[in-house]
Homo-oligomer: A and B are copies of this chain.
Amino acid sequence: MPHPKRLDPAAILDAALEIVEEQGSAGLSLRAVAARLDVKAPSLYNYFPDKAALEGAVIAASHRLMLETLRRHTRADDPETAFRQTAEAYLKLARKRPALYFFAMNHQTPGADSSPEGKLLWNFLLARVGALSGNPDDTDGAVAVWAFLHGFAVLERSGRFGKSGPKGGLARGLDALISQSLRLN
């Protein structure tokens, strides 16, 4: 057969994920994805209508990975311990897969979290904070926590601090947010 089926959406997405992780968002081009699959760029259009669709799939995959990771590392029953496990896992992931993490977080996506994946991730975070503050729908608390975690991930990666690193700042922020939530409880 001259042209057996060599592609499918999952394989294309996997290649795209690898490229983002290795080369950052700027490296994600249809040509690069195709090359990794030993295929030519136009073939990809049989599976994704355009580049934006592929980018959306990458973001959704990143959200899935984040949720899985947080779930896996959050095992404690005690709300505070569980919260700290979630926060730690969040930052660990941002360090381990920075390009993928920032690709998903920085992408100018109107309604980024109207996607099912984004909603699930948000709900998980909300549950951890809610268990802490005693308010199961503690939107404000979850926003504050998410802002801090993401901001910290950005600063940490920016290299703005010496080798000592901003680690002390992490404990400071988490303690502040936790003790306040406990006081609300």
- Residue ranges of A at the interface with B (Cβ–Cβ < 8 Å): 105-106, 108-113, 118, 122, 139-144, 146-152, 154-155, 158-161, 166, 168-173, 175-177, 179-181
Contact = CB atoms under 8 A, between A and B. Distances in A.
Nearest to A171: B140
B177 A173 contact: yes
B143 A172 contact: yes
Nearest to A146: B155
A100 to B, nearest CB: 15
Contacts of A179: 176, 180
A166 B143 contact: yes
Nearest 4 A/B pairs, CB to CB: A143-B169, A151-B151, A147-B151, A140-B168
27 contacts: A105-B154, A106-B106, A110-B159, A111-B159, A112-B158, A113-B160, A139-B169, A140-B171, A141-B169, A143-B161, A143-B166, A144-B148, A144-B170, A144-B172, A144-B173, A144-B176, A147-B148, A147-B152, A147-B166, A148-B151, A148-B173, A149-B151, A150-B151, A150-B155, A176-B176, A176-B177, A176-B179
A35 B96 CA distance: 42
A110 B76 CA distance: 38
A175 B173 CA distance: 12
A168 B151 contact: no
Given A151-B147, A151-B150, A172 B106 contact: no
Contacts of A168: 139-140, 143
A90 to B, nearest CB: 12
Interface centre among A105, A141, A143, A154 (most CB of B within 10 A): A143
Given A150-B154, A150-B155, 15 more contacts: A111-B159, A112-B159, A112-B160, A122-B160, A140-B166, A142-B169, A143-B166, A143-B169, A146-B151, A147-B148, A147-B169, A147-B173, A148-B148, A148-B173, A151-B151
